[in-house]
Amino acid sequence: MASPSLVWLRDDLRVADNPALRAAMDRDEPIVVLFVLDEESPGIRPLGGAARWWLHHSLNSLAEHIDGLGARLILRRGAAQKVLADVVAEIGAGAVFWTRRYGGAEREVDSAIKAALREDGLDVASFAGSLLHEPWTVKTGAGTHFSVFTPFWRACRALPAPRAPLPAPRSLDGVGRPPASDDLDDWGLLPTHPDWAGGLRDTWEPGEAAARERLHVFLREEVSAYDRARDEPSAGATSLLSPRLRWGELSPFTVWHEAVAVDGTAGFLSEVGWREFAWHTAFHFPDLATRNLRSEFDAFPWPRLHPRHLEAWQRGETGIPLVDAGMRELWHTGFMHNRVRMVTASFLVKNLLIDWRRGEEWFWDTLVDADGANNPFNWQWVAGSGADAAPYFRVFNPELQAKKFDPQGLYVSEWAADAPDEPLVDLGETRKAALAAYDAVKRSSRAES
Ligand code: FAD
């Protein structure tokens, strides 16, 4: 009797360099591949709108790919533990394999499932596939985790090189009678009333094949401009790989090995290192999206939320051209250039004095690369409450930033030509108010120590 292997995909929507899939192939039993839309397990953060759009299309493309290889992608919805128990029973699985996740709630769900399935006598194994280094393997001399990027990255570089990526399968041995699958269209991941996704459709092609193509074009034709122009939002000099890495259409091992083989990629790879650092931080601090990493920031005197200000920021109607351009790019494409993410985030927190969590939530809902670690980590970095944060006294001046990084106004005229020209707030006065608030935090932390 066959005892099929179940491969449970989560943030690893690919077949190449997928160690869980490889383990199933090595077991030489028929394979079932499963994706669970889990909106029920406690603590799992519901996906935002743009992320749901990406997921729909990435799953669509993956299902076709797996079908072509000879197996089937089964879609189910519900609490992962219940769904896995059901599918294991339906197919008479003998083994379950997956790629590890590193969020706090996700780890709890996965450990409970692992324990329950093992108790039932199944062979269960999880694999490293989403980070170059497991978070518990990168430590300071004192055995603690790093809170500053440069020594963190130096320590990563001193470790044995990340393993080589595993080859993509040429075929998969599926089960004779696959279990029932939900219809992806019934999951309602795409917006309908209204359909706001036109700009996303024009900008992106989700899926593993397009991700590989993007990596190759970037490394072949564009990476030489990266160090010089990566901060210029209109230059198109960055890789645009963030949603690919977020959804695991590409593994970081593939990105790493293909990039180190090309000259002049150290700067690009150190950005991939920031992703690594954000995830290691989230691993050690699972409440990253809701709690200040530096607890002294709990004393930050946030004024009462001005709903009109938050809305103006979200809509790109602040009257500050670079901020409005960024927020409009985000709304239209589900993406925003990194430099502009920093400027728009700084403006929200330090000129509008709105709690960084409100901004993080908006980005979470609107970014196609909305990432459980990168998003809150970077928001805390900008706010000053985070690991290796921007110094509290650094308030980006969006006008100077525009002069420096968009000197000809190309980015602003592409996205915000018709934005209001009356600033919502006075940049100088609000900067002073922010510095006073940051001083209050500093004083209160001194008084405590
Ligand atoms: P490249 O410059 O080509 O970088 C290559 C890869 O390195 C990226 O794809 C990404 O995976 C990683 N990377 C680059 N910069 C960072 C960074 N600062 N922190 C962590 N990883 C990085 N990135 C996300 O992937 N998801 C998010 O939700 C997210 N939210 C952010 C929120 C704010 C307020 C800020 C300031 C930054 C945020 N970033 C986030 C980081 C960064 O802006 C994006 O990763 C980057 O703009 C993606 O473009 P790219 O792929 O062309 O980057």
Q: What are the tens digits of pLDDT across the range 184-203?
A: 999 999 999 899 999 999 99
DSSP-derived secondary structure for 194-247? S---HHHHHH---SHHHHHHHHHHIIIIIGGGHHHHTT-TTS--S---HHHHHT
Phi first, then psi: give them for residue 20, nearest 5 degrees. Answer: -70, -45
Ligand 1 and 351: CB distance under 6 A: no
- Give me the half-sphere count of Cα atoms (radius 13 Å) on the Cβ side of residue 314: 16
Q: Does pLDDT of 34 surpass 70?
A: yes
Which residue from 250, 338, 385 has its CB within 8 A of the most atoms of ligand 1, so it is best to mutate? 338
Which residue from 232, 249, 251, 271 has its CB within 8 A of the most atoms of ligand 1, so it is best to mutate? 271
Give residue 122's pLDDT: 98
Question: What is the arithmetic mean of pLDDT over 25-43?
Answer: 97
Q: What is the pLDDT of residues 392-439, one digit of tens each?
A: 778 899 999 999 999 999 999 999 999 888 999 999 999 999 999 998
Amino acid present at 421? D
| Separation of CA 337 and ligand 1 centre (Å) | 8
Q: Does pLDDT of 344 surpass 70?
A: yes
Residues 6+ apart with CB under 8 A from 151: 140
DSSP-derived secondary structure for 30-43? -EEEEEEE-S-STT
Q: Does pLDDT of 387 surpass 90?
A: no
Query: CA-CA distance, 292 to 343, in Å (whole number)?
Result: 20
Six-digit token string for 368:
């196609």
Crossing angle (nearest 10°) for helices 321-333 and 398-405: 70
Give residue 139's pLDDT: 96
Crossing angle (nearest 10°) for helices 374-383 and 266-284: 90
| Separation of CA 148 and ligand 1 centre (Å) | 17
Number of neighbours of residue 66 by Cβ within 10 angstroms: 22
Query: CA-CA distance, 362 to 342, in Å (whole number)?
Result: 14
Ligand 1 and 345: CB distance under 6 A: yes
Which residue from 239, 240, 378 has its CB within 8 A of the most atoms of ligand 1, so it is best to mutate? 378
Closest residue CA from atom 36 of ligand 1: 342
CATH code at 131-161+206-284: 1.25.40.80
Amino acid present at 206? P
Give residue 405's pLDDT: 98
Give residue 371's pLDDT: 98
Question: What is the arithmetic mean of pLDDT over 260-276?
Answer: 97
Q: Which atom, in ligand 1's list, is nearest to the CA of 369?
A: 26
Find the length of the chain.
Answer: 449
Ligand 1 and 246: CB distance under 6 A: yes
Percent share of the chain, pLDDT over 70: 100
Q: Does pLDDT of 207 surpass 90?
A: yes
Q: Does pLDDT of 288 surpass 90?
A: yes
Give residue 449's pLDDT: 59
Give residue 448's pLDDT: 65
- Largest interatomic CA distance in the chain: 75
Closest residue CA from atom 25 of ligand 1: 242
Q: Which CATH superfamily is domain 295-442 in?
A: DNA Cyclobutane Dipyrimidine Photolyase, subunit A, domain 3 (1.10.579.10)
Closest residue CA from atom 9 of ligand 1: 242
Q: What is the pLDDT of residues 74-117, one digit of tens each?
A: 999 999 999 999 999 999 999 999 999 999 999 999 999 999 99
Q: Which atom, in ligand 1's list, is nearest to the CA of 272?
A: 7
Q: Are 352 and 323 in contact (CB under 8 A)?
A: no
Tell me where in the chain the CATH 1.10.579.10 domain(s) lie: 295-442
Tell me where in the chain the CATH 3.40.50.620 domain(s) lie: 1-130
| Separation of CA 242 and ligand 1 centre (Å) | 6
Ligand 1 and 342: CB distance under 6 A: yes
Ligand 1 and 380: CB distance under 6 A: no
Give residue 215's pLDDT: 98
Q: Quote the radius of gyration of the chain (alpha carbons, Å).
A: 23
Phi first, then psi: give them for residue 172, nearest 5 degrees. Answer: -125, 145
Residues 6+ apart with CB under 8 A from 78: 36, 37, 38, 40
Ligand 1 and 175: CB distance under 6 A: no
Give residue 347's pLDDT: 97
Give residue 390's pLDDT: 78
* β-sheet with 5-9: strand ranges across: 73-77, 31-37, 5-9, 95-99, 123-127
Closest residue CA from atom 7 of ligand 1: 272
Give the pLDDT band (50/70/90) at residue 54. Answer: very high
Give the pLDDT band (50/70/90) at residue 159. Answer: very high
Fold observed for domain 1-130: Rossmann fold (3.40.50)
Query: CA-CA distance, 63 to 172, in Å (whole number)?
Result: 13
| Separation of CA 85 and ligand 1 centre (Å) | 36
Most confident of 223-232, 293-302, 304-313: 223-232
User: Which is nearest to 362 in space by CA: 422, 312, 299, 302?
Assistant: 312
Closest residue CA from atom 6 of ligand 1: 272
Closest residue CA from atom 44 of ligand 1: 338
Q: CA quadruple 413, 416, 421, 427: dihedral positive or negative? A: negative
Six-digit token string for 106:
């996700």
| Separation of CA 285 and ligand 1 centre (Å) | 19
Parallel, antiparallel, or unpaired: how do β-strands 73-77 and 5-9 relate?
unpaired
Q: Are 74 and 25 in contact (CB under 8 A)?
A: no
Question: What is the arithmetic mean of pLDDT over 213-226?
Answer: 97
- Give me the half-sphere count of Cα atoms (radius 13 Å) on the Cβ side of residue 438: 20
Give residue 444's pLDDT: 78
Cα 49–chain centre separation: 14
